[in-house]
């Protein structure tokens, strides 16, 4: 199988994201760039996520600029699920397995691949959510219920946020209602 590559168009703002996923000797590497424009400000964030073979997040590096401020973050998760940002422990997300980037749909792939639920199965996830624009880590409790071959009911905030996600056969989101849609434009 080739390396899955995908591009999205942001629906709530002027923006886009593009990512590629490749298998490495030690697991998986996801690389991408998200850029979007808000009122009178722009953001462009390059990200690289390293996962073990079983899709547990090991590292996430983010560079670029957010709302005209330079960004260079190094997020790490060790074997005891201790998380750090730029070497400083983030106790709020201790025990989390997945990183969730608030500015990209790519990280929905991690629990979908790791859990591989069968249709009708539901799983709860406590993700280390990298907020935007704060770029701080907080716990985000999530639920993924597989409702079809490539469809998941996603909830967070105790059900306050709900979306029916459609994925491709690899598990990458192709439709995230109101926020992202896959596009063939990779330019």
**pLDDT interval class at 47 (50, 70, 90):** very high
Residue 23 pLDDT: 96
- Looking at the 3D structure of the chain, how many domains does it have? 1
Q: Distance (Å, rounded) from C-alpha 17 to C-alpha 25? A: 26
Sequence-separated contacts (24+) of 86-90 with Cβ below 8 Å: 90/128, 90/137
Tens-digit pLDDT profile for residues 108-123: 999 999 999 999 999 9
Residue 99 scores a pLDDT above 60:
yes
Kindly state the average pLDDT of the residues 83-97: 96
pTM of the complete model: 0.94
Tokens of residue 134, six digits: 């704060």
Domain that holds residue 147: 5-183
Kindly state the average pLDDT of the residues 28-57: 96
Residue 2 pLDDT: 62
Q: Distance (Å, rounded) from C-alpha 117 to C-alpha 46? A: 30
Residue 187 pLDDT: 44
């Amino acid at each position: 199988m080739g390396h899955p590559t995908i591009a999205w168009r942001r629906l709530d703002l002027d923006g886009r994201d593009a990512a590629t996923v490749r298998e490495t000797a030690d697991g998986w590497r996801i690389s991408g760039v998200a850029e979007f424009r808000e009122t009178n400000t722009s953001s462009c964030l390059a990200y690289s996520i390293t996962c073990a073979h079983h899709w547990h997040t090991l590292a996430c590096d983010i560079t670029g600029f957010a709302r005209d401020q330079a960004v260079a973050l190094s997020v790490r998760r060790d074997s005891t699920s201790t998380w750090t940002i730029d070497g400083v422990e983030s106790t709020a997300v201790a025990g989390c397995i997945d990183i969730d980037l608030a500015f990209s749909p790519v990280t929905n792939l991690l629990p979908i691949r790791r859990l591989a639920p069968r249709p009708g199965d539901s799983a709860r996830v406590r993700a280390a959510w990298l907020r935007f624009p704060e770029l701080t880590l907080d716990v985000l409790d999530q639920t993924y219920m597989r409702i079809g071959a490539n469809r998941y009911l996603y909830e967070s905030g105790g059900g306050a946020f709900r979306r029916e996600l459609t994925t491709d056969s690899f598990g990458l989101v192709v439709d995230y209602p109101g926020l992202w849609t896959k596009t063939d434009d990779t330019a």
